[in-house]
Chains A and B, each alone.
Chain A
Amino acid sequence: MNAIVKIENHDNQEIKFTTCYMCACRCGIKVTLEENKVRFIQGNRNHPTNQGVLCAKGSAGIMKQYSAAKLRKPLMRKPGSERGAGEFVEIEWDQALDMLTERLSHIRATNPSKLAFFTGRDQMQALTGLWAQQFGTPNWAAHGGFCSVNMAAAGLYSIGFSFWEFGAPDWDYAKYFIMWGVAEDHSSNPIKIGLEKLKRHGGKFVSVNPVRTGYSAIADEWIPIKPGMDGLLALSVVHVLLSRELFDWEFLIRYTNSAWLVVDTPGQKGHGLFLRDEQGNPLIWDMEKSAFVNALAKDITPALFGDFVAPDGRPVRTVMTLTAERYLDERYAPENVAQECGVTAETITRMALEMAHVAFKETVELDIKWTDSWGREHDKVIGRPVAMYAMRGIAAHSNGFHACRAVHLIQIMLGALDGPGNFRARAPYPKPIPPHQLPENNIDIINAPNTPLSKTPLGFPMRPEDLVIDKQGNPLRIDKAYSWEIPIASHGLMHMVITNATNHDPYPIDTLLLFMANMAWNSTMNTKNVQDMLREKDPAQPDQHKIPFLVVVDAFHSEMVNFADLVLPDTTYLERYDTISLLDRPISEPDAAADAIRYPLLKADRDVRPWQEVLVELASRMKFPAFTQADGSRKFKDYPDFIVNYERAPGIGFLAGWRGKNGEKSLKGEPNPKQWEKYIENESFFAHHWPDNQKYNRFANKDYLDVAADVGFVGKSEPITMQIYSEPLQKFRLAGQGLYDGPQPTNPVDRERLATYFDPLPMWYKPLEQQRVDEHEYPFFALTQRPMLMYHSWDSQNVWLRQILAQNYMYMNRGQAERMNLKDFDWIWVESHNGKIRCQMRTMEGTQENTVWTWNAIGKQGGAWGLKPEASEAKNGFLLNHLISELLPAKKGERRITNSDPVTGQAAWFDLRVKITKAAEGETGSWPEFPAIKPLPWDDGERPDTLRYSSRPEDNK
Chain B
Amino acid sequence: MHPAFSVIFFTVSSGAGFGLFALLVLADLLGLGGGLSTEQKLTAGSLALFLVAAGLSSSVFHLANPKNAWRAFSRYKTSWLSREGVFAVVFFPFAMAYLGLTWLDMAQLKWLEVTVGVLAAVLAWITIFSTGMIYGCLKTIRQWNSPLVPANYLALGHFTGALLLLLVASRGAVDLNGYVTLTAGLLVAAAALKAIYYFWISTPGATSTIKTATGFTRGTVRLLDTGHTHGTFLTEEFGFKIARQYAIVLKVFVFVAGFVVPAVLLLTGKADGAALYAAVMLAVLGIVAERWLFFAEARHVVNLYHGAQHT
Which of A's residues lie within 8 Å of B, judged by CB?
A: 213, 802-807, 844-846, 872
Question: Cα distance A807–B222 when bound, in Å?
Answer: 20
Judge whether B228 and A804 touch: CB under 8 Å.
Answer: yes
Judge whether B224 and A846 touch: CB under 8 Å.
Answer: yes
What are the residues of chain B within 8 A of A802 when measuring CB–CB?
229
What are the residues of chain A within 8 A of B229 when measuring CB–CB?
802-807, 872
- Which of A804, A807, A844, A872 contacts B227, CB < 8 Å? A804
For residue B309, give the distance in angstroms from its CB to the closest CB of chain A. 14
Residues of chain B from 217 to 235 with CB closer than 8 A to chain A in the complex: 222, 224, 227-230
B25-61 near A? 1/0 per residue, CB < 8 Å: 0000000000000000000000000000000000000
Judge whether B230 and A803 touch: CB under 8 Å.
Answer: yes
Judge whether A844 and B224 touch: CB under 8 Å.
Answer: yes
What are the residues of chain A within 8 A of B228 when measuring CB–CB?
803-804
Residue pairs across A and B with Cβ atoms less than 8 A apart, 18 shown, are: A213-B224, A802-B229, A803-B228, A803-B229, A803-B230, A804-B227, A804-B228, A804-B229, A805-B229, A806-B229, A806-B230, A807-B229, A844-B222, A844-B224, A845-B222, A846-B224, A872-B229, A872-B230
Question: Cα distance A802–B228 when bound, in Å?
Answer: 8
B188-202 near A? 1/0 per residue, CB < 8 Å: 000000000000000
Question: Cα distance A499–B229 when bound, in Å?
Answer: 35
| B interface SS class | loop
For residue B250, give the distance in angstroms from its CB to the closest CB of chain A. 25
> Which residue of chain A has the shortest Cβ distance to B219 in the bound complex?
A845
Which of B's residues lie within 8 Å of A, judged by CB?
A: 222, 224, 227-230
For residue B71, give the distance in angstroms from its CB to the closest CB of chain A. 15
Question: Cα distance A845–B228 when bound, in Å?
Answer: 20
Question: Which 9 A-B pairs give the minimum distances between C-beta atoms?
Answer: A806-B229, A807-B229, A844-B224, A803-B228, A804-B228, A805-B229, A804-B227, A806-B230, A872-B229
Known: A803-B230, A806-B230, A844-B224. 7 other contacts (CB 8 A): A802-B229, A804-B227, A806-B229, A807-B229, A844-B222, A846-B224, A872-B229
Question: Cα distance A844–B229 when bound, in Å?
Answer: 16
What are the residues of chain B within 8 A of A845 when measuring CB–CB?
222
What are the residues of chain A within 8 A of B224 when measuring CB–CB?
213, 844, 846
> Which residue of chain B has the shortest Cβ distance to A787 in the bound complex?
B225
For residue A798, give the distance in angstroms from its CB to the closest CB of chain B. 13
For residue A841, give the distance in angstroms from its CB to the closest CB of chain B. 14
What are the residues of chain B within 8 A of A805 when measuring CB–CB?
229
> Which residue of chain A has the shortest Cβ distance to B222 in the bound complex?
A845
- Chain A CB within 10 A, most for which of B222, B224, B227, B229: B229
What are the residues of chain B within 8 A of A872 when measuring CB–CB?
229-230
Question: Cα distance A807–B227 when bound, in Å?
Answer: 12
Question: Cα distance A778–B229 when bound, in Å?
Answer: 30
Question: Cα distance A803–B231 when bound, in Å?
Answer: 9
For residue B117, give the distance in angstroms from its CB to the closest CB of chain A. 40
> Which residue of chain A has the shortest Cβ distance to B220 in the bound complex?
A845
Question: Cα distance A213–B224 when bound, in Å?
Answer: 9
Question: Cα distance A813–B227 when bound, in Å?
Answer: 20
> Which residue of chain B has the shortest Cβ distance to A845 in the bound complex?
B222
For residue B226, give the distance in angstroms from its CB to the closest CB of chain A. 10
Question: Cα distance A807–B226 when bound, in Å?
Answer: 13
What are the residues of chain B within 8 A of A807 when measuring CB–CB?
229
- Chain B CB within 10 A, most for which of A804, A846, A872: A804
For residue B305, give the distance in angstroms from its CB to the closest CB of chain A. 16
> Which residue of chain B has the shortest Cβ distance to A217 in the bound complex?
B224
For residue A619, give the distance in angstroms from its CB to the closest CB of chain B. 44
What are the residues of chain B within 8 A of A213 when measuring CB–CB?
224
For residue A579, give the distance in angstroms from its CB to the closest CB of chain B. 36
Question: Cα distance A213–B228 when bound, in Å?
Answer: 16
For residue B218, give the distance in angstroms from its CB to the closest CB of chain A. 14
For residue A903, give the distance in angstroms from its CB to the closest CB of chain B. 37
Question: Cα distance A807–B230 when bound, in Å?
Answer: 9
For residue B43, give the distance in angstroms from its CB to the closest CB of chain A. 47
> Which residue of chain A has the shortest Cβ distance to B226 in the bound complex?
A804
What are the residues of chain A within 8 A of B222 when measuring CB–CB?
844-845
Question: Cα distance A804–B228 when bound, in Å?
Answer: 4
Question: Cα distance A804–B222 when bound, in Å?
Answer: 19
For residue A797, give the distance in angstroms from its CB to the closest CB of chain B. 15
What are the residues of chain A within 8 A of B227 when measuring CB–CB?
804
Question: Cα distance A804–B224 when bound, in Å?
Answer: 13
Question: Cα distance A872–B229 when bound, in Å?
Answer: 9
What are the residues of chain A within 8 A of B230 when measuring CB–CB?
803, 806, 872
Question: Cα distance A23–B230 when bound, in Å?
Answer: 26
For residue A508, give the distance in angstroms from its CB to the closest CB of chain B. 44
For residue B236, give the distance in angstroms from its CB to the closest CB of chain A. 14
Question: Cα distance A373–B228 when bound, in Å?
Answer: 55
> Which residue of chain B has the shortest Cβ distance to A789 in the bound complex?
B227
Question: Cα distance A804–B232 when bound, in Å?
Answer: 11
> Which residue of chain B has the shortest Cβ distance to A814 in the bound complex?
B222
For residue B234, give the distance in angstroms from its CB to the closest CB of chain A. 13
For residue A40, give the distance in angstroms from its CB to the closest CB of chain B. 22
Question: Cα distance A803–B227 when bound, in Å?
Answer: 8
